[in-house]
């Protein structure tokens, strides 16, 4: 019994270390529909995933997609678990100190959503229970601009919506396009955007390790190329009826 177990164990330990070849390993989160999510067949899908595949094809690179929890996604990149992050990551000054970004591949805005029948407005944020995903630009915006709000940070964006639905939250602050998808679903039907976007300059890009400028440059060029040849617009059309670039 113990011999079998240890044999199995040695097998496992020997089999799992994978040595990097000439592949680019790309991390995404898998809990951020419609940009990246996992469906019933266990496959990762979404806008980010299609963009990642298109970029890899353009760069003629062999890519490997892995999923990683959001709050560990930058530490994982720094630790060298993978070489790039294509997971709807916004460019922020703080992140730029830790990683390098390509040129943006889409833009976004931050806007509050709340129940349709509530009179919540962005001005009421202080003193309300507001949800956001941990380690996102929305969480950071809340911490910096309405520190008096009861800020609740979630492991995934989906869990924040679950709690808005259960009534634990007065509002959620999130990227507009992510909220679109949810507001469109059965669960989100009773909720709506409140007020104007509070932050307009949200640029989303591919992140790579800080010293990996070459790779960032390759991604930037590939983004430009798929914009030019219409691949980008086709993918965009699968998700949104307007250009999100």
Partner 1 sequence: MDLQGFGAQLASGTWITVQLALASMACAVVLGLLGASAKTSGLTPLRWLGTAYTGMVRGLPELLVILLVYFGAAMVINQVASAFGYTQYIELSPFVAGVIALAFNYGAYMTEVFRGALATIPRGHTEAGMALGMGRLRIFRRIVLPQVWRVALPASGNIFLALLKDTALVSVIGLEDLMRETAIAVGYSKQPFTFYLAAAFIYLGLTAVATLGIHWLERRTTHGMRTLSG
Partner 2 sequence: MNWQVMIDSFPALAEGALITLELVVISGILGVLLAVPMAMARVSPRPWLRALPLAHIYFFRGTPLLVQIYLVYYGLGQFEAVRDSVLWPYLREAYWCAIIAFTLNTSAYTAEILRGAIQSVPRGEVEAAETVGMSPALIWRRIRLPRAFRIALPAYSNEVILMLKGSALASTITLMDLTGVARTIIARTYTPVELFLAAGLLYVVLAFLILGGFRLVERRLNRHLQPG
Rule CB under 8 A: which residues touch partner 1? 1-2, 5-6, 8-9, 12-13, 16-20, 30-31, 33, 37-42, 67-69, 72, 75-76, 79-81, 156, 158, 162, 165, 185, 187
> Quick one: what does residue 153 bind among partner 1, partner 2, none, with the CB cut-off 5 to 8 Å set by partner type?
partner 2
Q: Please report how close the Cβ of residue 7 comes to partner 1 at its closest, in angstroms.
A: 9
Task: Name the binder of 163 from partner 2, partner 1, none, CB < 5-8 A by kind.
Answer: partner 2
CA 61 – CA 112 distance, rounded (Å): 39
> Is 31 or 208 the residue whose CB approaches partner 1 more closely?
31
Residues that bind partner 2 (CB under 8 A): 71-72, 74-75, 78, 94, 98, 131, 134-135, 139-140, 152-155, 159, 162-163, 165-168
135 interacts with, out of partner 1, partner 2, none, CB within 5 to 8 A per kind: partner 2
Residue 39 interacts with, from partner 1, partner 2, none (CB under 5-8 Å by kind): partner 1
Which residues neighbour 3 within 8 Å (Cβ) at sequence distance 6 or greater?
none
Residue closer to partner 2, measured from CB, 58 or 83:
83
Contact of residue 139 among partner 1, partner 2, none (CB under 5-8 Å per partner type): partner 2
Q: Which residues of 7-42 are buried (b: 16+ CB within 10 A; e: fewer)?
A: eeeeeeeeeeeeeeeeebbbbbbbbbbbbbbbeeee
- The residues, ordered by sequence, that sit 6+ positions from 136 with a Cβ below 8 Å of its Cβ are 70, 90, 157, 174
Strand order, beta sheet including 31-32: 31-32, 36-38, 44-45
**Minimum CB distance to partner 2 smaller for 67 or for 159:** 159
Considering CB distances under 5 to 8 angstroms, the limit depending on partner class, which of partner 2, partner 1, none binds residue 19? partner 1
Whichever of 155 and 224 has its CB closer to partner 2, that residue is 155
How far, in Å, CA of 218 to CA of 225, rounded? 11
Paired sense of beta strands 84-90 and 99-115, if any: unpaired
Which residues does 82 contact at the CB level (< 8 Å), separation at least 6?
25, 26, 27, 64, 66, 68, 76
Q: Which is nearer to partner 1, 36 or 231 (CB)?
A: 36
In Å, how far are 58, 108, 126, 196, 229 from 92, measured between CA atoms?
A: 27, 13, 24, 21, 29
The dihedrals phi and psi of 111, each to the nearest 5 degrees, come to -145, 145
Complex with partner 1: residue 18 or 228, whichever CB lies closer:
18
Nearest approach, Cβ of residue 72 and partner 1 (Å) = 7
At closest approach, how far in Å is the CB of 96 from partner 1? 21
């Amino acid at each position: 019994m113990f011999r079998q177990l240890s044999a199995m164990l040695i097998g496992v330990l020997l089999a799992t270390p994978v040595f990097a070849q000439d592949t680019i390993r790309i991390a995404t989160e898998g809990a951020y529909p419609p940009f990246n999510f996992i469906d019933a067949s266990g496959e990762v899908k979404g806008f980010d995933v299609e963009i990642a595949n298109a970029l890899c094809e353009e760069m003629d690179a062999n890519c490997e997609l892995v999923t990683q929890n959001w709050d560990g996604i930058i530490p994982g990149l720094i630790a060298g678990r993978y070489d790039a992050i294509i997971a709807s990551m916004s460019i922020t000054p703080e992140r730029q100190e830790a990683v390098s970004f390509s040129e943006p591949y889409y833009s976004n805005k931050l806007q509050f959503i709340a129940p349709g029948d509530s009179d919540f407005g962005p001005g009421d944020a202080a003193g309300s229970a507001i949800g956001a995903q941990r380690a996102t630009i929305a969480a950071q915006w809340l911490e910096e601009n309405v520190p008096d709000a009861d800020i609740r940070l979630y492991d995934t964006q989906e869990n924040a919506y679950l709690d808005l639905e259960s009534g634990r939250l007065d509002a959620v602050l999130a990227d507009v396009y992510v909220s679109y998808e949810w507001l469109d679903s059965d669960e989100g039907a009773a909720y709506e955007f409140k007020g104007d976007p509070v932050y307009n300059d949200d640029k989303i890009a591919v992140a790579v390790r800080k010293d990996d400028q070459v790779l960032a440059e390759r991604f930037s060029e590939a983004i430009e190329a798929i914009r030019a040849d219409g691949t980008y617009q086709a993918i965009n059309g699968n998700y949104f009826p307007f250009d999100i670039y």
